[in-house]
Each structure stands twice: as structure tokens, then as C-alpha cells.
Amino acid sequence: MTRPELWLVFVLMGIVTVSLRASFILLQDRLALPNALERALRYVPAAVLAAILTPALFRGAGEPLLGLEWFDTRVVAALIAGVVAWRTRNILATIAAGMAALWALAWLLG
Amino acid sequence: MLAGVSNERVAFVQGLKDSVPVLIGIVPYAMIVGVAAVAVGLLAVDVVGMSLVVFAGASQLAALELIGRGAPIVVIVLTTFMINLRFAMYSAALAPQVKDVSLLVRTVVSFALTDQAFALTTIRMRDQPDTPRSPYLLGVSLPFYFVWAAFTAIGAVLGAQVPASWQLDFALPLTFLALLFPAVRDRPSLAAALAGGALAVVLRDLPFNLGLVIAALVGVGVGAWVEVLRDRARA
């Protein structure tokens, strides 16, 4: 792909992406949703965050434990991070705990 | 004190502050994208351009892979559309809350709508419902915009010099985990998360991240349904 073509791709991608992001925000009155649907949107964050999280978590990128491919060091580290998240509701603490747990597990197994 | 003006500035600054812990999660991810870009022949300046124009990691990564495989432009653009469909959900969820600002502000705000900005904004709106939405959204996304561009460039320049054994890419799923907990406040949202999370794993092999969109939509539906059941039980 030539560089002009490459940049054409970037611009087209950018247009598509910002159109999706702006869709309802800019076209509010024309894309009006019925009330029930609007109330349902309240659950978008929970549903989407979980849907993004689980495939990334269970893809077997860590070292497998108990002989299971999907139950690996990352899953355990995430469980530990989850407890920290639940207790502290602190994003930084959660990330730090998760990374520390992952490294600790890697060190213990290595 | 001019309550209106200072409120907006306070919200903007609050957004900046709230973004900081979550920025850490995208640094390794950005560097991975930079490395992937160089691997398919992009220059660092192309990488920065892509990040500034698109500002969406998953689709950038997919597009880079397609570029490497010599895929036609149409396919790349269509893939981008499918992968980024979830942004339309965010747009729908936030639209009622950014109604009262000018078209210009709404356009700028739209450009900033990333996963993390959306999640942080939703959480903040629940904790402090009086926060002016648009200034907050701008404040929370601005750091991401620059950090994303900067670190995709740094990744492109540094190349694969950061050891994979450090597993720094785990930081990104961790941030989503960290954001998930405040987002789950009651039984309907818990149901939404469980349904969305379970289905996303089941559907993980669908092309174009379709699994993600379908799982998210089903999750939203389940959440709404549990809410209806709960309200009926209370009535």
C-alpha cells in the first residue's frame, strides 16, 4: 500500500469512527429512541465493560494452572485485583494489585 | 463567584484528574500498536497520524493487520465500522446528557468518546449527578488523546524492546476490571455484566468483534429485563 493510500485509509477510518461516536449525540432528535430503550441504555457500561474484559482475560495468555488452559495466572491475578477493586474502589490500587499478583505468580512458578 | 463558569472548569479539571489512573492501562497497549505498525512497514509519523485521526486502539490494531495482509481499503474500512460499532451505544447512552450544548461542543465531545472516557464519565455522573457533562468528558478524554498518540509513536520507535515477559499488556484488561466494579451497582447491572461477559467469551471467535457487540446488546437487554422484574416485585 502506498503512503497516500495509507493516509486515505486513516482518514476513512477516522470518519467512520467519529461518525459512530457522534451518531446519537449529533442526531439526537432524528434518532430518538423510545423511552424503554433509553432506560435500558443505563446498562451499557456494565455490559460493555464485562464483554470487553472476559475474552481478554480468558484467552490463556498467562501460565496455565491446574492443567486448565483458561484458568491461568492472569485469571488468578484478576481475581485478586477484583477483590481489591471491590474493597477499595480505587482504580490505581486495582491495577497495581493485579500486576503485582501476576508478577508474583510468575515468579513463584518460574 | 460565577457558579456556572467555575462549575464547568471544576468539571474539566475533575475529568483530567479522573483520567490519570486509567491512562496507565493504555500505555502498554499503545506501545503494542506502535510495534505492530512498524512491523507492517509504517513510519513513526504515520503511526502518530493514525492515532490522532482514528483514536481507537482495537480498530487500529485490526487495520494494521489487514494492511500487512494487503487487504483492500474497503475491507479495512468495513472492519473498522464493525469493531467500533460499540461507540454508537456509548453515543446513545450519553446523548440525552449532552443535549444542551452547542453543535460545536457536541462534535468535539463526540470525537473524544473512547471506552475509558465513557466508563469514567458514567461512573462520575452516578457519583456526582450535578457535574456538567461536556466539560467533564473533554477533561477526561484529552489526556488519553495525547498519551495514545505519544505512546504509539514511542512503541514504533522503541520497537519490541520491552520484554513480553513483563506482560504489561495485562494492564489494559485490569483497567476494564477496575472500571467494571463501580459500574455494577445493583442487581440489574450485575445481571447485565454477567450476561455480557459470559456471552462475549462464548462468541469470541466471531469475526469483526461481532461477539462483543452482540454480547453487549444482550447484556443491556438482560439488565433492562431484570430491572423490570425488580420494579414489578416492588410495586
Give pLDDT tens digits for A67-77. Answer: 777 788 999 99
The closest of B27, B25, B12 to B179, measured between CA atoms, is B25
Per-residue confidence of chain B (235 residues) as pLDDT tens digits? 445 557 889 999 999 999 999 998 899 899 989 999 998 889 999 999 999 999 999 999 999 989 988 889 999 999 999 999 999 999 999 988 888 788 888 888 888 899 999 999 999 998 898 888 889 999 999 999 999 999 999 999 987 676 777 788 888 899 999 999 999 989 999 999 999 999 999 998 888 788 898 999 999 999 999 999 999 988 7
**CB-based contact B111 A77, cutoff 8 Å:** no
Measure CB to CB from residue A53 to each of B49, B53, B177 and give the nearest one: B177
Question: What is the least distance, in Å, from the CA of B86 to any CA of chain A?
Answer: 8
The closest of B10, B13, B21, B50 to B172, measured between CA atoms, is B21
**CB-based contact B91 A94, cutoff 8 Å:** no
pTM: predicted TM-score of the whole model, two decimal places: 0.87
pLDDT at B159: 74
Q: Which residues touch B213 (CB under 8 Å, ≥6 apart)?
A: B82, B85, B86
Q: Which residues pair with A68 in a beta bridge?
A: A65
CA distances to B19, B75, B186, B218 from A43, rounded to whole Å, are 22, 31, 10, 10
Q: How far apart are CA B82 and CA A26, in angstroms?
A: 20
For residue B184, the SS3 value is coil
Q: DSSP for A14-62? A: HHHHHHHHHHHHHSTTTTPPPHHHHHHGGGHHHHHHHHHHHHHHTS--S
ipTM: 0.89
Tell me the chain A residues in contact with residue B118 when contact means C-beta distances shorter than 8 Å. 45
